[in-house]
Amino acid sequence: MSANFHPLVYIIDYILGIIMWTLIGRVAMNIFQREDSQFFFMRVFVKFTNPLIYIFKPITPSFIIQPLVPLYVAWFFFMIRFYLMPWILGYSVMGMLSFPLESEISRQIYQFFNSIKF
């Protein structure tokens, strides 16, 4: 069941979703690597997310420990995607798995596992 949105809605959601998941990925990667690690993926996560963390610094509470700040910023992107986007589009609630990015990923996973014959 796919909604018929304007392509710009999908582009905006994909961009916001990628930003959100990159911030979450940085927190997850930070469990295993230091932020100043030379590991390629950690450097990429830090390089791409530091500007966002800097932008949100004025509204980030000081009591949040530094490794969890990207998760706090990711929460804002989740809230934009879950509440603001549907409101702007005129929907009261879009529901679970209504995010186009995650819906497409879950559809691909479902098709992949459905194609495997046991």
Residue 81 within a domain: yes
Question: Considering the entire predicted model, what is its pTM?
Answer: 0.75
Residue stretches of the chain with pLDDT short of 70: 1-5, 90-98, 118
Residue 52 lies inside a defined structural domain of this protein: yes
Domains contained in the chain, number: 1
Q: What is the pLDDT of residue 80?
A: 86
Q: Where are the alpha helices (DSSP H) in 6-99?
A: 7-32, 40-56, 69-79, 85-89
For residue 49, the model assigns a pLDDT of 92
Residue 91 has a pLDDT of 65
In-domain check, residue 1: no
2 within some domain: no
Phi/psi-derived region of residue 90, left when phi > 0, alpha when psi is between -120 and 50, beta in every other case: left
Q: What is the pLDDT of residue 109?
A: 86
